[in-house]
Copies of this chain bind each other. A is one copy, B any other.
Amino acid sequence: MVTPRKPPLTPDASGFNVYARECPARMVLDRIGDKWALLVLDRLRHDAARFNAIRRDIGGISQKVLSQVLKNLERDGLVLRTVHATVPVAVTYSLTPLGETLTQAAASLIHWAESHMAQIQHAQRLYDDRLAATSL
């Protein structure tokens, strides 16, 4: 039986609860429940990449934010930062085994947006038209 969770949610078996603001799990959610982090995780899903390659692939991400996101993901053990002892040095980022356990969910979320755009845009038009109508 799949455990049904009805909020206010009971904690996880190990006692963690994202619904509680002070819970460590919530703090992790603060970092992974973020568009940039999700895009980075998805970008690393198939191959490791260098800092500037990631930056070029993810349109609109700034160096500062990418740097912060990568540091956070590294600290949480999701991403591995490797400095290659070449000349000149190259820095690559890759997923850890732990990070790989998250990418499926991350990719699903990202992918969902792309595959449901028709319905979303339809809803947006209805909403905007209805709003314009009521304000007249």
Contact = CB atoms under 8 A, between A and B. Distances in A.
A124 B75 contact: yes
A114 B32 CA distance: 12
Contacts of A77: 119-120, 122-124, 126-127
A70 interface: no
How many residues of A sit at the interface, in one of the four size bands? 35 or more
A110 interface: yes
A37 to B, nearest CB: 8
Given A33-B109, A98-B123, A109-B106, A117 B25 contact: yes
21 contacts: A7-B42, A7-B46, A8-B57, A16-B114, A17-B114, A18-B113, A19-B43, A20-B59, A25-B113, A28-B113, A28-B120, A33-B34, A33-B35, A33-B38, A33-B110, A75-B123, A76-B124, A77-B122, A78-B123, A101-B116, A102-B109
Interface of A: 4-9, 11-12, 14, 16-22, 24-26, 28-30, 32-35, 38-39, 42-43, 45-47, 56-60, 74-78, 96, 98, 101-102, 104-106, 108-110, 112-124, 126-128
